Amino acid sequence: MRSAVLVTGCDSGIGKEFALQYAAEGRSVVATFRDLANSEGFPEGIRCYLLDVTEPSHFVALKEEIGDLPIDVLLSNAGVGLDIRKLGDLDFSYVHRMFEVNTAGPLRLVETFVENVAASRQRRIVSITSRMGSISLNLSGGHYGYRASKAGLNAIMRSLAIDLFPRGITVASIHPGWVDTAGGGADGGAIAVGDSVAAMRRTIAGLGNHETGQIFDYRGTPIPC
């Protein structure tokens, strides 16, 4: 059975670019979407499925669809941000949603598909994180929900790296840089999404088991927790 790359959050931006670049490379790609209408126009060779990472039933349905398909790279990209409210005016319902999507969603993804990863040759699990989740690099404050949700994601990925190391699975988190996408802020970002994704793909391809549990920027430079 031919192995695949599974990418979440392919509705736009980074996730979409990952799916397209991997497909252009000749890889078998499973792309997931919060709104399946956003898969319109994707190449026919990309397998497109519905997956809202806050909906447990979507994970069950996707697992049933792909069965025992080996997954070389399980790429958790789906996320929400734009956490701009200040202390005294916080939207706690949105803070809660950030934890659901950015922290719990990736963990459920791994729990659902870890056996598919273990059955593959490359055995890589990667999450798209942010340097804003680094506690030691936080010198500007604010962004409480987003920072905490990404710090939590980094902690989860570290634990997964320890737990899955005996199975030969390499786990890593990657900061994509300030990318020119809708999530990159009102003024866009300095890095073209295609350039960021191409660099992240090189970083993912070059990961060694001795690097499991680490956080990197898109060029492969380690980032402190």
- Torsion angle in degrees (nearest 10) through CA of 27, 202, 162, 117: 0
Sign of CA dihedral 110, 111, 116, 121: positive
Residues known to be catalytic: 146, 150
CA distance 8 to 107: 13
Residue 174's φ and ψ, nearest 5 degrees, are: -130, 130
What is Dmax (Cα atoms) for the chain? Answer: 54
- Which residue pairs, CB below 8 angstroms and at least 24 apart, start in 46-49? 46/19, 46/20, 47/4, 48/10
- Say how many C-beta atoms besides its own lie within 10 A of residue 175's C-beta: 23
Provide the total of helices (H) and of strands (E) in the chain, helices listed first.
6, 7
